[in-house]
Chains A and B, each alone.
Chain A
C-alpha cells in the first residue's frame, strides 16, 4: 500500500520516493532489502530505479567442450545426462576487486549482482541494462523479472554483442545495471523458484535449470517415444 493513501492498492512503477519508503519499512513490515545499501538517494529519486553493481563470481561456458547443447536427442538422453552435460559446459570462476574481466565479442557469461536483494511480497522488479554499457555493445540481462518475495543476488546473462572486447570491473562502484520496481496487485503469489523454501538465497550466478520441471520431462519422453 502506498503510505498515506488508504484502501486503494497502488499500481504502476514505484517512484524513487516510494522505493525509499519500501526500503525504510520495518523488518516486520516486509521491507525491500538491498545489501550492501549503496544507493545514492538523490539519483534514486531522480531516476526512479536502483543501481546494481557486478559481483565477483562468474559462470563461463566451455565452448570447446561440447559440440552442441541439443537436449532430448538420442534414446538414453535422460535428466541426469542433461545435468552432467550442463555441468561439463559450465565453469565457475572468481574475479577479484583489482582484476578486470574481459568479455570478448559474441561471448556469453553468467554473472550476478553484487547486491543481495530481498523483495517484499507486494513489489516486483525488472533488471535493465544501463545505456552507458549498452552503447558499448553489452547486454546485461535477458530474464529480467525479479519476483515478489525473491531473495538473493539475481543472475545476469551478460553478452558482448559489439565488435571489440569489453573490460568489466567486478565489485567496482560503477553500476552495471538498474532495477525498476512495480507494485503487484492483490492476490499475488510469492516467488516459488528453487530458493523459495531456503532461508539463504543464491549468493552468486546460477546454472541453467532448463531440465527441471514436468513439462521438460514430458517433452523429453515424447521425443524418445517418437524417435523409436
Chain B
C-alpha cells in the first residue's frame, strides 16, 4: 500500500483493474477467427499482451512502493508517471479494438484478403491488419515504425524497454465501417498500401532528389506531406488503374467533398490529386483508347475527358499557390512514377490491354462474377485491377451524358446498381482469392 493519499491510490488500483481486464480480453481474442490469412492479428495480440503485462507490473510496483515524495514537485512527477501508464492502457484498448474489428464477422473475406495479399506481395512479409473504423475515412498507421512514434505513445515502450530496432512494419489500414459493403470504394485502400510501400522503399526522399533546390516560400514539411499523398496515389493507380480514380470520385462525392478546393492541411487540394491521378493513368498507358470500338471504353473515355474539363475550370487555375507547388513538384512526380513502376511487379500492375478485357465487362452486365477466365485451356484468376475496372466501367456506362459532376453520381438508380455490383464483385474477389490459393498449392 503506497502512502500517497486516496486519489493516487485509486488511480493505480483502477489502472491495474483495467489492465487485468484487458489481459482477459486479449486471451479471449486469441481464439477468434480473423479475415487476415497471416499471423498478423495473433502477432499483435501477443505484443499487446506483453506490453500490458509490463505496464501492469510497473503499476503493481507503484502500488507496493513505500516511497514518499519529499515535496509537491515530487508528488506531481509521480502523479504524471502513473497517468502516463494509465493512458498507455487506454491506448492498448484502442489497438485491441482494431483486432476485434478485424474478425471475420465484421470484416468479411473478399476484397480485404485481396488487398492484404497485394501488400504482402509488394513488400517482404510486412504484417498487415485491415479493419473497419467508425471514422468516415481511409487511413494508415504503421504501429512499429520508430520514426512515427511520439515519446508518449504506448509502442514507444517497446523501443525503450524491449530494445526494438524499429525495422519492423506493422501496418494497420482502416476503412469506414459505413462503407463496409461498398467493395468498389475499397480501391481507396490501395492508396494506404501506397503509403506503406513508400515508407519501406523510401520513394519520397528518392524522388524529391529530382527537384532543383531553390528558395521556396512554402515549408518543406508541407511540400513533403503533399508529395507523399501524390506518391500513394501513383501506387494505387499503378495497381488498379482508372478503378482507383472512379472510387476516389465516388468517395468524395458521397462525402460531398468533390467541390471543396482544399479540405485538409496535410493533403494537397483534391483537384490537384485528381489531376495527378489522371496524368498517371495516361503515363502508365491505362486509358481505354485501345478499345475505341467498345461502347464501354467510349463511356469511360468520355467520363475521363469530362473530368479533365472539370479540372480545367477556374477552380483549379484560381488556386495559384497550389498550382505553383504542383508545377514545382512535377519532376519528382515523374521520377516517382518510374520508381513505382519498377517496384511493383508486372503481375500486379493494371493494364487494360493485357487480356480480353471487354468480355469481363459483359460478364458484369449479365450478372456473372468476373472471377476467372479460361485462356489456352487453363483457368486464370483475373487480377484485382481487372475485376474492379470491369465493374466500374459497367457502372460508369449508366451515367447520363453529359457527365455533370458531382450530380451525375448521386441518382438513386446509380446507388442501387452500386449495391448490386458490390455484392457481385465481392463474390468474384472471394472466388478469385480461392483460385489464387489453389494455384499456390499446385491444385
Interface residues, chain A, CB within 8 Å of chain B?
27, 33, 35-38, 55-57, 93-99, 114, 116, 118, 151, 153, 171, 173, 198-201, 203-204
Are A36 and B367 in contact (CB-based, < 8 A)? no
A116 to B371, CA, bound (A): 10
Taking CB as reference atom, which chain A residue is nearest B441?
A173
Which 7 A-B pairs give the minimum distances between C-beta atoms? Answer: A203-B427, A36-B372, A199-B367, A36-B371, A200-B420, A171-B434, A200-B367
A95 to B109, CA, bound (A): 8
**Cβ-based interface call for B64 (8 A):** no
Which residues B63-117 have CB closer than 8 A to chain A?
104-105, 108-109, 113
A182 to B374, CA, bound (A): 25
Are B426 and A203 in contact (CB-based, < 8 A)? yes
CB distance from A93 to the nearest CB of B (A): 6
The interface bits of chain B over 416-434 (1 if a CB of A lies within 8 angstroms of the residue's CB, else 0) are: 0000110110111011111
Are A38 and B109 in contact (CB-based, < 8 A)? no
Contacts of B372 in A (CB 8 A): 35-38
Are B427 and A153 in contact (CB-based, < 8 A)? yes
Most A CB contacts (10 A, CB to CB) among B362, B365, B369 go to B369
Which of B33, B363, B434 interacts with A95 by CB under 8 Å? B33
Which of B368, B379, B421 interacts with A33 by CB under 8 Å? B368
A38 to B105, CA, bound (A): 27
Are A199 and B431 in contact (CB-based, < 8 A)? no
Contacts of B34 in A (CB 8 A): 96
Taking CB as reference atom, which chain B residue is nearest A99?
B33
Are B431 and A94 in contact (CB-based, < 8 A)? no
Taking CB as reference atom, which chain B residue is nearest A153?
B427
A38 to B372, CA, bound (A): 9
Contacts of B427 in A (CB 8 A): 116, 153, 203-204
Q: How large is the interface on B (under 10, 10 to 19, 20 to 34, 35 or more residues)?
A: 35 or more
CB distance from A28 to the nearest CB of B (A): 10
Are A35 and B37 in contact (CB-based, < 8 A)? no
Which of B113, B369, B443 interacts with A35 by CB under 8 Å? B369
A153 to B35, CA, bound (A): 22
Taking CB as reference atom, which chain B residue is nearest A198?
B420
CB distance from A38 to the nearest CB of B (A): 7
Are B104 and A173 in contact (CB-based, < 8 A)? no
**Given A96-B35, A99-B33, A114-B434: A35 and B371 interface contact (C-beta under 8 Å):** yes
Are A116 and B368 in contact (CB-based, < 8 A)? yes
Are A199 and B108 in contact (CB-based, < 8 A)? no
A199 to B424, CA, bound (A): 10
Taking CB as reference atom, which chain A residue is nearest B35?
A96
Which of A93, A97, A201, A204 interacts with B367 by CB under 8 Å? A201
Contacts of A116 in B (CB 8 A): 368-369, 427, 431
A56 to B109, CA, bound (A): 8
9 A-B residue pairings within 8 Å (CB atoms): A36-B432, A55-B430, A96-B33, A97-B433, A99-B33, A116-B369, A171-B437, A200-B424, A201-B367
A56 to B431, CA, bound (A): 10
CB distance from B261 to the nearest CB of A (A): 38
**Cβ-based interface call for B366 (8 A):** yes
**Cβ-based interface call for B218 (8 A):** no
Contacts of A93 in B (CB 8 A): 104-105
A133 to B371, CA, bound (A): 27
Are B435 and A199 in contact (CB-based, < 8 A)? no
Taking CB as reference atom, which chain A residue is nearest B443?
A173
**Given A97-B433, A114-B434, A200-B424: A36 and B379 interface contact (C-beta under 8 Å):** yes
Known contacts A38-B438, A116-B368, A118-B368, then 17 further A-B pairs from the complex at CB < 8 Å, ordered by chain A residue: A35-B369, A35-B428, A36-B435, A38-B379, A55-B430, A57-B108, A94-B108, A99-B104, A114-B434, A116-B431, A151-B368, A171-B430, A199-B365, A199-B367, A201-B367, A203-B427, A204-B427
Taking CB as reference atom, which chain B residue is nearest A112?
B427
CB distance from B414 to the nearest CB of A (A): 15
Taking CB as reference atom, which chain B residue is nearest A199?
B367
Taking CB as reference atom, which chain A residue is nearest B37?
A98
Are B438 and A173 in contact (CB-based, < 8 A)? yes
Are A56 and B430 in contact (CB-based, < 8 A)? yes
Are A97 and B437 in contact (CB-based, < 8 A)? yes
Which of B113, B366, B424 interacts with A203 by CB under 8 Å? B424
CB distance from B439 to the nearest CB of A (A): 11
Are B109 and A94 in contact (CB-based, < 8 A)? yes
CB distance from A152 to the nearest CB of B (A): 9
CB distance from B42 to the nearest CB of A (A): 12
Taking CB as reference atom, which chain A residue is nearest B104?
A94
A199 to B423, CA, bound (A): 11
Taking CB as reference atom, which chain A residue is nearest B33?
A99
Are A37 and B368 in contact (CB-based, < 8 A)? no
Which of B362, B423, B435 interacts with A200 by CB under 8 Å? B423
CB distance from B37 to the nearest CB of A (A): 6
